A and B are shown apart, each in its own frame.
Chain A
Amino acid sequence: MASVFSSPGFNFSNELRNNFISDKGLHLPKATSTGTTIVGCLFKDGIVLGADTRATEGPIVADKNCEKIHYITNNIRCCGAGTAADTEFTTALISSNMELHALSTGRPARVVTAMTMLKQMLFRYQGHVGAALVLGGVDATGPHLFTIHPHGSTDKLPYVTMGSGSLAAMAVFESGWRANMERDEALSLVKAAISAGIFNDLGSGSNIDACIITASSTEMLRNVEMPNARVQKERTYVFRRGTTAWKSESVRDLIVDETVTQVLSTGAGEAMDTT
Protein backbone atom coordinates (compact mmCIF):
# COMPACT_ATOMS: atom_id res chain seq x y z
CA MET A 1 0.00 0.00 0.00
CA ALA A 2 1.45 3.36 -0.99
CA SER A 3 2.38 5.73 1.83
CA VAL A 4 0.84 9.22 1.79
CA PHE A 5 3.77 10.57 3.81
CA SER A 6 6.63 11.94 1.69
CA SER A 7 9.65 12.78 3.82
CA PRO A 8 11.41 16.07 3.13
CA GLY A 9 15.01 16.10 1.97
CA PHE A 10 17.02 13.72 -0.15
CA ASN A 11 16.45 9.96 -0.42
CA PHE A 12 19.72 8.13 0.16
CA SER A 13 18.37 4.56 0.04
CA ASN A 14 20.31 3.81 -3.15
CA GLU A 15 23.57 4.42 -1.29
CA LEU A 16 23.36 0.96 0.35
CA ARG A 17 22.82 -0.67 -3.01
CA ASN A 18 25.62 1.34 -4.64
CA ASN A 19 28.09 0.48 -1.88
CA PHE A 20 27.19 -3.22 -2.18
CA ILE A 21 27.73 -3.20 -5.95
CA SER A 22 30.95 -1.18 -5.58
CA ASP A 23 32.31 -3.74 -3.14
CA LYS A 24 31.59 -6.46 -5.68
CA GLY A 25 33.85 -4.65 -8.15
CA LEU A 26 31.57 -2.55 -10.39
CA HIS A 27 32.37 1.07 -9.62
CA LEU A 28 30.34 4.18 -10.43
CA PRO A 29 31.55 5.91 -13.62
CA LYS A 30 33.72 8.97 -12.96
CA ALA A 31 31.86 12.21 -13.61
CA THR A 32 33.02 13.95 -16.75
CA SER A 33 35.01 16.97 -15.74
CA THR A 34 35.63 19.88 -18.04
CA GLY A 35 39.27 20.21 -16.77
CA THR A 36 39.33 23.49 -18.60
CA THR A 37 40.58 26.94 -19.18
CA ILE A 38 37.87 29.60 -19.12
CA VAL A 39 38.47 33.35 -19.11
CA GLY A 40 36.59 36.63 -19.17
CA CYS A 41 37.89 40.09 -19.91
CA LEU A 42 36.42 43.59 -19.81
CA PHE A 43 37.18 45.91 -22.73
CA LYS A 44 36.03 49.32 -23.91
CA ASP A 45 32.63 48.30 -25.28
CA GLY A 46 31.80 45.26 -23.15
CA ILE A 47 32.97 41.75 -22.29
CA VAL A 48 34.91 39.04 -24.10
CA LEU A 49 34.52 35.48 -22.79
CA GLY A 50 36.77 32.62 -23.87
CA ALA A 51 36.98 28.86 -23.33
CA ASP A 52 38.80 25.78 -24.57
CA THR A 53 36.80 22.77 -25.84
CA ARG A 54 38.15 19.64 -24.12
CA ALA A 55 35.99 17.54 -21.78
CA THR A 56 37.82 14.83 -19.80
CA GLU A 57 36.73 11.64 -18.04
CA GLY A 58 39.70 10.99 -15.80
CA PRO A 59 42.69 10.73 -18.18
CA ILE A 60 40.58 10.22 -21.30
CA VAL A 61 39.27 12.99 -23.53
CA ALA A 62 35.51 12.41 -23.58
CA ASP A 63 34.64 15.24 -25.97
CA LYS A 64 37.18 16.96 -28.23
CA ASN A 65 34.89 19.84 -29.13
CA CYS A 66 32.40 20.56 -26.36
CA GLU A 67 30.77 23.94 -25.80
CA LYS A 68 31.63 25.57 -22.50
CA ILE A 69 30.10 28.99 -23.09
CA HIS A 70 26.49 28.60 -21.98
CA TYR A 71 23.52 30.82 -22.79
CA ILE A 72 21.92 32.67 -19.90
CA THR A 73 20.04 35.46 -21.69
CA ASN A 74 20.53 37.37 -24.91
CA ASN A 75 23.26 39.56 -23.45
CA ILE A 76 24.54 37.33 -20.68
CA ARG A 77 26.72 34.26 -21.11
CA CYS A 78 28.38 31.93 -18.62
CA CYS A 79 31.53 29.83 -19.06
CA GLY A 80 31.60 26.68 -16.94
CA ALA A 81 34.47 24.67 -15.46
CA GLY A 82 34.30 21.67 -13.14
CA THR A 83 31.83 18.79 -13.43
CA ALA A 84 30.30 19.05 -16.92
CA ALA A 85 26.80 17.93 -15.89
CA ASP A 86 26.73 20.39 -13.00
CA THR A 87 27.72 23.39 -15.13
CA GLU A 88 25.29 22.35 -17.88
CA PHE A 89 22.26 21.95 -15.63
CA THR A 90 23.02 24.83 -13.30
CA THR A 91 23.35 27.31 -16.15
CA ALA A 92 20.24 25.91 -17.86
CA LEU A 93 18.21 26.27 -14.64
CA ILE A 94 19.33 29.84 -14.04
CA SER A 95 18.77 30.72 -17.70
CA SER A 96 15.19 29.52 -17.39
CA ASN A 97 14.66 31.43 -14.13
CA MET A 98 16.15 34.58 -15.65
CA GLU A 99 13.61 34.47 -18.49
CA LEU A 100 10.77 34.10 -15.97
CA HIS A 101 12.23 36.93 -13.89
CA ALA A 102 12.39 39.23 -16.92
CA LEU A 103 8.78 38.45 -17.81
CA SER A 104 7.70 38.98 -14.21
CA THR A 105 9.49 42.32 -13.74
CA GLY A 106 8.90 43.56 -17.28
CA ARG A 107 12.56 44.52 -17.61
CA PRO A 108 15.55 42.94 -19.35
CA ALA A 109 17.44 40.88 -16.78
CA ARG A 110 20.64 42.07 -15.14
CA VAL A 111 23.94 40.24 -14.72
CA VAL A 112 23.87 40.66 -10.92
CA THR A 113 20.53 38.84 -10.85
CA ALA A 114 22.06 35.82 -12.57
CA MET A 115 25.06 36.03 -10.25
CA THR A 116 22.87 36.11 -7.14
CA MET A 117 20.73 33.19 -8.34
CA LEU A 118 23.84 31.15 -9.12
CA LYS A 119 25.67 31.91 -5.88
CA GLN A 120 22.66 31.27 -3.67
CA MET A 121 22.04 27.91 -5.34
CA LEU A 122 25.69 26.83 -5.13
CA PHE A 123 25.95 27.92 -1.48
CA ARG A 124 22.82 25.92 -0.64
CA TYR A 125 24.55 22.78 -1.97
CA GLN A 126 27.66 23.57 0.09
CA GLY A 127 30.11 22.90 -2.74
CA HIS A 128 28.68 19.53 -3.77
CA VAL A 129 27.55 21.01 -7.10
CA GLY A 130 30.96 21.22 -8.78
CA ALA A 131 30.41 24.27 -10.94
CA ALA A 132 33.07 26.98 -11.21
CA LEU A 133 31.70 29.72 -13.46
CA VAL A 134 32.76 32.88 -15.27
CA LEU A 135 29.64 34.98 -15.77
CA GLY A 136 29.72 37.99 -18.04
CA GLY A 137 27.25 40.25 -19.76
CA VAL A 138 26.06 43.74 -20.54
CA ASP A 139 22.84 45.12 -19.11
CA ALA A 140 21.18 48.48 -18.49
CA THR A 141 23.81 49.31 -15.84
CA GLY A 142 26.78 48.48 -18.08
CA PRO A 143 29.16 45.54 -18.59
CA HIS A 144 29.84 43.22 -15.64
CA LEU A 145 32.15 40.26 -15.16
CA PHE A 146 31.92 37.84 -12.22
CA THR A 147 33.59 34.66 -11.12
CA ILE A 148 31.58 32.15 -9.05
CA HIS A 149 33.25 29.34 -7.08
CA PRO A 150 31.58 25.98 -6.30
CA HIS A 151 31.04 26.89 -2.65
CA GLY A 152 29.15 30.03 -3.58
CA SER A 153 31.67 32.85 -3.23
CA THR A 154 31.83 35.48 -5.96
CA ASP A 155 34.35 38.08 -7.11
CA LYS A 156 33.76 41.05 -9.38
CA LEU A 157 36.85 41.81 -11.46
CA PRO A 158 37.90 43.31 -14.82
CA TYR A 159 39.62 40.07 -15.91
CA VAL A 160 39.15 36.54 -14.58
CA THR A 161 40.26 32.97 -15.26
CA MET A 162 38.95 29.65 -13.90
CA GLY A 163 39.61 25.94 -14.32
CA SER A 164 42.76 23.82 -14.26
CA GLY A 165 44.40 26.08 -16.85
CA SER A 166 43.57 29.25 -14.95
CA LEU A 167 47.11 29.89 -13.73
CA ALA A 168 48.53 29.74 -17.26
CA ALA A 169 45.78 32.02 -18.57
CA MET A 170 46.11 34.45 -15.66
CA ALA A 171 49.81 34.86 -16.40
CA VAL A 172 48.88 36.06 -19.90
CA PHE A 173 46.22 38.42 -18.54
CA GLU A 174 48.43 39.88 -15.83
CA SER A 175 51.07 40.81 -18.39
CA GLY A 176 48.73 41.86 -21.20
CA TRP A 177 45.52 43.40 -19.85
CA ARG A 178 44.97 47.14 -19.98
CA ALA A 179 41.87 49.22 -19.32
CA ASN A 180 39.72 50.29 -22.29
CA MET A 181 41.15 47.92 -24.88
CA GLU A 182 39.72 47.80 -28.38
CA ARG A 183 37.67 44.80 -29.50
CA ASP A 184 40.45 43.19 -31.56
CA GLU A 185 43.04 43.65 -28.82
CA ALA A 186 40.73 42.11 -26.25
CA LEU A 187 39.92 39.16 -28.53
CA SER A 188 43.64 38.44 -29.19
CA LEU A 189 44.36 38.67 -25.48
CA VAL A 190 41.60 36.17 -24.73
CA LYS A 191 42.83 33.85 -27.50
CA ALA A 192 46.37 34.07 -26.11
CA ALA A 193 45.14 33.28 -22.60
CA ILE A 194 43.15 30.24 -23.72
CA SER A 195 46.09 29.08 -25.86
CA ALA A 196 48.31 29.26 -22.78
CA GLY A 197 45.85 26.95 -21.05
CA ILE A 198 45.51 24.60 -24.03
CA PHE A 199 49.24 24.11 -24.51
CA ASN A 200 50.41 24.13 -20.88
CA ASP A 201 47.58 22.35 -19.07
CA LEU A 202 46.74 18.69 -19.64
CA GLY A 203 43.10 19.21 -18.67
CA SER A 204 42.55 21.76 -21.46
CA GLY A 205 42.95 21.35 -25.19
CA SER A 206 41.51 21.31 -28.71
CA ASN A 207 39.93 24.52 -29.95
CA ILE A 208 39.19 28.04 -28.73
CA ASP A 209 35.65 29.40 -28.35
CA ALA A 210 34.98 33.08 -27.76
CA CYS A 211 31.98 35.29 -27.16
CA ILE A 212 31.94 39.07 -27.50
CA ILE A 213 29.11 40.83 -25.66
CA THR A 214 28.41 44.53 -26.12
CA ALA A 215 25.39 46.70 -25.39
CA SER A 216 24.12 46.27 -28.93
CA SER A 217 25.02 42.68 -29.80
CA THR A 218 26.29 39.30 -28.65
CA GLU A 219 28.61 37.52 -31.05
CA MET A 220 29.28 33.84 -30.42
CA LEU A 221 32.54 32.81 -32.11
CA ARG A 222 32.43 29.03 -31.97
CA ASN A 223 35.85 27.51 -32.80
CA VAL A 224 37.30 30.93 -33.58
CA GLU A 225 40.72 29.23 -33.60
CA MET A 226 41.51 25.56 -34.11
CA PRO A 227 45.21 25.19 -33.26
CA ASN A 228 44.98 21.41 -32.83
CA ALA A 229 43.47 20.28 -36.13
CA ARG A 230 44.51 16.75 -37.09
CA VAL A 231 47.36 16.88 -39.60
CA GLN A 232 47.33 14.85 -42.75
CA LYS A 233 48.95 11.47 -42.08
CA GLU A 234 52.42 11.18 -43.53
CA ARG A 235 51.74 7.88 -45.27
CA THR A 236 48.73 5.81 -46.19
CA TYR A 237 48.07 2.89 -43.86
CA VAL A 238 45.54 1.04 -46.02
CA PHE A 239 46.33 -2.68 -46.41
CA ARG A 240 46.54 -3.86 -49.95
CA ARG A 241 43.99 -6.43 -51.12
CA GLY A 242 45.39 -9.90 -50.62
CA THR A 243 47.45 -9.00 -47.50
CA THR A 244 45.48 -11.57 -45.55
CA ALA A 245 45.27 -14.93 -47.26
CA TRP A 246 41.99 -16.90 -47.04
CA LYS A 247 41.37 -20.60 -47.26
CA SER A 248 37.74 -20.76 -48.46
CA GLU A 249 34.98 -18.41 -49.57
CA SER A 250 31.18 -18.69 -49.20
CA VAL A 251 28.75 -15.95 -50.32
CA ARG A 252 25.14 -16.00 -49.14
CA ASP A 253 22.37 -13.60 -50.11
CA LEU A 254 20.73 -12.14 -46.97
CA ILE A 255 17.52 -11.22 -48.80
CA VAL A 256 15.74 -14.56 -49.38
CA ASP A 257 12.57 -13.45 -51.14
CA GLU A 258 11.47 -9.93 -51.97
CA THR A 259 8.67 -8.31 -53.98
CA VAL A 260 8.71 -4.55 -54.61
CA THR A 261 5.32 -2.74 -54.79
CA GLN A 262 5.02 0.86 -55.97
CA VAL A 263 3.10 3.14 -53.56
CA LEU A 264 0.95 5.50 -55.68
CA SER A 265 0.84 9.14 -54.39
CA THR A 266 -2.85 10.25 -54.11
CA GLY A 267 -2.13 14.00 -54.21
CA ALA A 268 0.36 16.65 -53.16
CA GLY A 269 0.99 16.54 -49.43
CA GLU A 270 -2.02 14.34 -48.60
CA ALA A 271 -0.23 11.48 -46.86
CA MET A 272 0.57 13.19 -43.56
CA ASP A 273 -0.61 16.32 -41.86
CA THR A 274 2.53 18.12 -40.94
CA THR A 275 1.21 21.68 -40.52
Chain B
Amino acid sequence: MDHIDWNRLKTGEVNLGTSIMAVQFDGGVVIGADSRTTTGSYIANRVTDKLTHVHDRIYCCRSGSAADTQAVADIVHQGLQMYSQTAGEAPSVHHAASLFQRVCYENKDALSAGIIVAGWDKEVGPSVYNIPLGGGLFRQPWAIGGSGSTYVYGYCDATYKEGWGRDETVTFVKNTLALAMARDGSSGGVIRMCVITEDNVERLFVPGDELPKFWEGREVLGATALKNRAADKGVVPMAVEA
Protein backbone atom coordinates (compact mmCIF):
# COMPACT_ATOMS: atom_id res chain seq x y z
CA MET B 1 0.00 0.00 0.00
CA ASP B 2 1.31 3.48 -0.79
CA HIS B 3 2.54 5.49 2.13
CA ILE B 4 -0.13 7.97 3.21
CA ASP B 5 1.22 11.23 4.58
CA TRP B 6 -1.09 11.78 7.53
CA ASN B 7 0.66 14.87 8.68
CA ARG B 8 0.28 16.95 5.54
CA LEU B 9 -1.89 20.04 5.79
CA LYS B 10 -5.31 19.84 4.15
CA THR B 11 -5.92 22.21 1.22
CA GLY B 12 -6.82 25.68 2.41
CA GLU B 13 -5.54 25.08 5.90
CA VAL B 14 -3.44 27.85 7.37
CA ASN B 15 0.15 26.77 7.92
CA LEU B 16 2.47 28.03 10.61
CA GLY B 17 5.51 27.16 8.41
CA THR B 18 7.86 28.43 11.04
CA SER B 19 11.09 28.50 12.88
CA ILE B 20 10.69 28.02 16.62
CA MET B 21 13.14 27.31 19.40
CA ALA B 22 13.57 27.19 23.13
CA VAL B 23 16.81 27.18 25.15
CA GLN B 24 17.32 26.59 28.83
CA PHE B 25 19.81 28.63 30.86
CA ASP B 26 20.64 28.87 34.56
CA GLY B 27 17.88 31.22 35.66
CA GLY B 28 15.16 30.36 33.15
CA VAL B 29 14.37 29.70 29.50
CA VAL B 30 14.43 31.79 26.36
CA ILE B 31 11.85 30.91 23.73
CA GLY B 32 11.65 32.43 20.28
CA ALA B 33 9.77 32.23 17.00
CA ASP B 34 9.43 33.94 13.64
CA SER B 35 6.11 35.59 12.73
CA ARG B 36 4.94 34.20 9.40
CA THR B 37 1.63 32.34 8.81
CA THR B 38 0.96 31.16 5.27
CA THR B 39 -2.04 29.88 3.27
CA GLY B 40 -0.36 28.27 0.30
CA SER B 41 2.01 30.97 -0.93
CA TYR B 42 0.09 33.93 0.52
CA ILE B 43 1.21 35.25 3.89
CA ALA B 44 -2.01 35.42 5.89
CA ASN B 45 -0.38 37.07 8.91
CA ARG B 46 3.13 38.55 8.81
CA VAL B 47 3.23 39.49 12.50
CA THR B 48 1.93 36.31 14.16
CA ASP B 49 2.62 35.63 17.80
CA LYS B 50 3.54 31.95 17.96
CA LEU B 51 4.60 32.07 21.60
CA THR B 52 1.45 31.11 23.43
CA HIS B 53 0.80 31.50 27.14
CA VAL B 54 -0.55 28.35 28.78
CA HIS B 55 0.28 29.30 32.34
CA ASP B 56 2.03 32.10 34.29
CA ARG B 57 5.50 30.67 33.74
CA ILE B 58 4.80 28.11 31.00
CA TYR B 59 4.70 28.99 27.32
CA CYS B 60 4.53 26.92 24.16
CA CYS B 61 5.89 27.53 20.66
CA ARG B 62 3.53 26.41 17.89
CA SER B 63 4.40 25.02 14.45
CA GLY B 64 2.33 23.13 11.87
CA SER B 65 -1.36 23.81 11.29
CA ALA B 66 -2.49 27.09 12.85
CA ALA B 67 -5.99 25.76 13.59
CA ASP B 68 -4.74 22.53 15.19
CA THR B 69 -2.10 24.19 17.38
CA GLN B 70 -4.45 26.98 18.50
CA ALA B 71 -7.08 24.40 19.45
CA VAL B 72 -4.57 22.19 21.31
CA ALA B 73 -3.08 25.18 23.16
CA ASP B 74 -6.57 26.32 24.20
CA ILE B 75 -7.37 22.83 25.53
CA VAL B 76 -4.13 22.66 27.53
CA HIS B 77 -4.60 26.25 28.78
CA GLN B 78 -7.99 25.27 30.17
CA GLY B 79 -6.59 22.06 31.63
CA LEU B 80 -3.82 23.92 33.44
CA GLN B 81 -6.26 26.54 34.77
CA MET B 82 -8.35 23.69 36.15
CA TYR B 83 -5.27 22.02 37.63
CA SER B 84 -4.09 25.17 39.42
CA GLN B 85 -7.57 25.66 40.89
CA THR B 86 -7.92 22.09 42.14
CA ALA B 87 -4.29 21.48 43.20
CA GLY B 88 -3.93 24.99 44.63
CA GLU B 89 -0.47 25.46 43.18
CA ALA B 90 1.25 26.24 39.88
CA PRO B 91 1.63 23.23 37.56
CA SER B 92 5.07 21.94 36.63
CA VAL B 93 6.36 22.33 33.09
CA HIS B 94 6.49 18.53 32.87
CA HIS B 95 2.78 18.37 33.67
CA ALA B 96 1.98 20.92 30.96
CA ALA B 97 4.12 19.02 28.47
CA SER B 98 2.34 15.77 29.39
CA LEU B 99 -1.03 17.36 28.70
CA PHE B 100 0.22 18.50 25.30
CA GLN B 101 1.63 15.06 24.62
CA ARG B 102 -1.62 13.33 25.51
CA VAL B 103 -3.63 15.44 23.05
CA CYS B 104 -1.00 15.23 20.29
CA TYR B 105 -0.43 11.49 20.61
CA GLU B 106 -4.04 10.37 20.98
CA ASN B 107 -5.12 12.45 17.97
CA LYS B 108 -1.97 11.96 15.93
CA ASP B 109 -3.86 10.98 12.76
CA ALA B 110 -5.99 14.12 12.78
CA LEU B 111 -3.45 16.70 13.95
CA SER B 112 -0.55 18.44 12.30
CA ALA B 113 1.17 20.05 15.28
CA GLY B 114 4.81 20.38 16.33
CA ILE B 115 5.02 22.02 19.75
CA ILE B 116 7.86 23.09 22.05
CA VAL B 117 6.84 23.59 25.69
CA ALA B 118 9.16 25.61 27.92
CA GLY B 119 8.99 27.36 31.26
CA TRP B 120 10.03 27.61 34.85
CA ASP B 121 8.68 25.75 37.87
CA LYS B 122 9.85 25.57 41.49
CA GLU B 123 10.58 21.83 41.57
CA VAL B 124 13.00 21.63 38.67
CA GLY B 125 13.67 25.23 37.64
CA PRO B 126 13.87 25.84 33.91
CA SER B 127 13.03 23.09 31.39
CA VAL B 128 12.35 22.62 27.68
CA TYR B 129 10.23 19.82 26.18
CA ASN B 130 10.02 19.07 22.47
CA ILE B 131 6.82 17.40 21.15
CA PRO B 132 7.27 16.71 17.43
CA LEU B 133 4.62 15.42 14.97
CA GLY B 134 4.04 11.87 16.30
CA GLY B 135 3.38 12.98 19.87
CA GLY B 136 6.60 11.87 21.53
CA LEU B 137 7.91 13.78 24.56
CA PHE B 138 11.59 14.73 24.71
CA ARG B 139 13.22 16.85 27.39
CA GLN B 140 16.24 18.69 25.99
CA PRO B 141 18.46 21.60 27.06
CA TRP B 142 17.62 23.29 23.77
CA ALA B 143 15.07 22.44 21.10
CA ILE B 144 14.34 23.74 17.60
CA GLY B 145 11.28 23.06 15.49
CA GLY B 146 9.30 24.01 12.40
CA SER B 147 10.21 23.95 8.73
CA GLY B 148 13.04 26.44 9.23
CA SER B 149 14.76 24.38 11.90
CA THR B 150 16.23 21.96 9.37
CA TYR B 151 18.55 24.72 8.10
CA VAL B 152 20.02 25.52 11.49
CA TYR B 153 20.74 22.16 13.13
CA GLY B 154 24.39 22.50 12.15
CA TYR B 155 24.67 26.07 13.45
CA CYS B 156 23.03 25.11 16.76
CA ASP B 157 25.15 22.00 17.29
CA ALA B 158 28.30 23.99 16.60
CA THR B 159 27.40 27.04 18.70
CA TYR B 160 25.54 25.84 21.79
CA LYS B 161 27.45 25.72 25.05
CA GLU B 162 26.22 24.92 28.53
CA GLY B 163 26.49 27.47 31.32
CA TRP B 164 25.40 30.53 29.37
CA GLY B 165 23.69 33.44 31.05
CA ARG B 166 20.52 35.24 29.94
CA ASP B 167 22.08 37.59 27.39
CA GLU B 168 24.19 34.96 25.66
CA THR B 169 21.14 32.70 25.36
CA VAL B 170 19.04 35.53 23.91
CA THR B 171 21.77 36.20 21.32
CA PHE B 172 21.93 32.49 20.46
CA VAL B 173 18.16 32.34 19.89
CA LYS B 174 18.13 35.57 17.88
CA ASN B 175 20.99 34.49 15.59
CA THR B 176 19.57 31.01 15.04
CA LEU B 177 16.14 32.33 14.12
CA ALA B 178 17.62 34.98 11.82
CA LEU B 179 19.56 32.30 9.93
CA ALA B 180 16.52 30.05 9.67
CA MET B 181 14.33 32.92 8.46
CA ALA B 182 16.90 33.85 5.84
CA ARG B 183 16.87 30.39 4.26
CA ASP B 184 13.31 29.11 4.81
CA GLY B 185 10.54 30.55 2.64
CA SER B 186 7.87 29.66 5.18
CA SER B 187 9.62 31.63 7.94
CA GLY B 188 10.09 35.36 8.12
CA GLY B 189 8.76 38.66 9.41
CA VAL B 190 9.91 39.63 12.89
CA ILE B 191 11.52 37.72 15.75
CA ARG B 192 9.47 37.38 18.92
CA MET B 193 11.18 36.11 22.07
CA CYS B 194 10.17 35.52 25.70
CA VAL B 195 12.53 35.21 28.64
CA ILE B 196 10.80 33.20 31.36
CA THR B 197 12.34 33.28 34.83
CA GLU B 198 11.08 32.75 38.37
CA ASP B 199 10.24 36.45 38.72
CA ASN B 200 8.60 37.37 35.45
CA VAL B 201 8.10 36.87 31.73
CA GLU B 202 9.86 39.44 29.57
CA ARG B 203 8.80 39.83 25.94
CA LEU B 204 11.43 40.85 23.39
CA PHE B 205 10.81 42.02 19.84
CA VAL B 206 13.23 42.33 16.91
CA PRO B 207 11.71 44.10 13.87
CA GLY B 208 12.33 42.73 10.38
CA ASP B 209 14.81 45.44 9.40
CA GLU B 210 16.94 44.94 12.52
CA LEU B 211 17.56 41.21 12.16
CA PRO B 212 21.17 40.10 12.64
CA LYS B 213 22.92 39.99 9.28
CA PHE B 214 25.19 37.22 8.10
CA TRP B 215 26.70 36.48 4.72
CA GLU B 216 24.53 38.49 2.35
CA GLY B 217 26.01 37.10 -0.83
CA ARG B 218 27.89 38.92 -3.52
CA GLU B 219 27.28 38.73 -7.24
CA VAL B 220 30.00 36.61 -8.82
CA LEU B 221 29.01 36.68 -12.50
CA GLY B 222 28.09 39.91 -14.23
CA ALA B 223 29.46 42.98 -16.02
CA THR B 224 30.69 44.72 -12.82
CA ALA B 225 32.62 41.65 -11.73
CA LEU B 226 34.25 41.24 -15.10
CA LYS B 227 35.21 44.90 -15.18
CA ASN B 228 36.88 44.65 -11.77
CA ARG B 229 38.79 41.52 -12.72
CA ALA B 230 40.21 43.10 -15.89
CA ALA B 231 41.32 46.23 -14.00
CA ASP B 232 42.94 44.12 -11.24
CA LYS B 233 45.10 42.13 -13.61
CA GLY B 234 46.19 45.25 -15.52
CA VAL B 235 45.17 43.74 -18.83
CA VAL B 236 45.57 46.19 -21.69
CA PRO B 237 43.74 45.57 -24.98
CA MET B 238 46.04 44.58 -27.83
CA ALA B 239 47.01 47.38 -30.18
CA VAL B 240 45.54 46.85 -33.63
CA GLU B 241 47.72 47.76 -36.57
CA ALA B 242 46.08 50.29 -38.81
Q: Does B10 contact A (CB under 8 A)?
A: yes
User: Which residue of chain A is the closest to B70 with respect to CB atoms?
Assistant: A153
Q: Does B13 contact A (CB under 8 A)?
A: yes
A149 in contact with B66 given A127-B13, A155-B48, A157-B47 (CB within 8 Å) = yes
Q: Does B44 contact A (CB under 8 A)?
A: yes
Measured between beta carbons, the chain B residues less than 8 angstroms from A157 are 45, 47
Q: Does A77 contact B (CB under 8 A)?
A: no
Q: Does B71 contact A (CB under 8 A)?
A: yes
Could you tell me the distance in whole angstroms from the C-beta of A145 to the nearest C-beta in chain B? 12
Q: Does A123 contact B (CB under 8 A)?
A: yes
User: Quick one: which of B14, B47, B48, B110 contacts A149, CB cutoff 8 A?
Assistant: B14
A127-B10 in contact (CB<8A) = yes
**Contact code string B72-85 (vs A, CB < 8 Å = 1, else 0):** 00100000000000
A119 in contact with B70 given A151-B10, A151-B13 (CB within 8 Å) = yes
A155-B13 in contact (CB<8A) = no
Measured between beta carbons, the chain A residues less than 8 angstroms from B65 are 151, 153
User: Which residue of chain B is the closest to A122 with respect to CB atoms?
Assistant: B67
Measured between beta carbons, the chain B residues less than 8 angstroms from A151 are 10, 12-14, 65-67
Most interface-central of A151, A152, A154 (chain B CB within 10 A)? A151
B67-A149 in contact (CB<8A) = yes
How far is B15's CA from A215's CA once the two chains are assembled, in angstroms? 34
Measured between beta carbons, the chain A residues less than 8 angstroms from B71 are 119-120, 123, 152
Q: Does A143 contact B (CB under 8 A)?
A: no
How far is B48's CA from A155's CA once the two chains are assembled, in angstroms? 7
**Contact code string A157-191 (vs B, CB < 8 Å = 1, else 0):** 10000000011000000000000000000000000
Q: Does B39 contact A (CB under 8 A)?
A: yes
Which of A221-274 touch B at CB < 8 Å?
none
How far is B44's CA from A153's CA once the two chains are assembled, in angstroms? 11
Measured between beta carbons, the chain B residues less than 8 angstroms from A153 are 13-14, 37, 65-67, 70
Q: Does A150 contact B (CB under 8 A)?
A: yes
A155 in contact with B67 given A127-B13, A149-B39 (CB within 8 Å) = no
How far is B14's CA from A122's CA once the two chains are assembled, in angstroms? 13
B45-A155 in contact (CB<8A) = yes
User: Quick one: which of B13, B70, B110 contacts A154, CB cutoff 8 A?
Assistant: B70
Measured between beta carbons, the chain B residues less than 8 angstroms from A120 are 71, 74
Measured between beta carbons, the chain A residues less than 8 angstroms from B110 are 126
Besides A120-B74, A149-B39, A151-B10, 4 new A-B residue pairs in contact (Cβ under 8 A), listed by A number: A123-B67, A149-B66, A150-B12, A152-B67
Some 15 contacts from A to B, beta carbons below 8 A apart, are A119-B70, A120-B71, A122-B67, A123-B71, A126-B10, A127-B13, A151-B13, A151-B14, A151-B67, A152-B67, A152-B70, A154-B70, A155-B37, A155-B45, A157-B47
3 nearest A-B pairs in the assembled complex, by CB-CB distance: A153-B66, A151-B67, A153-B67
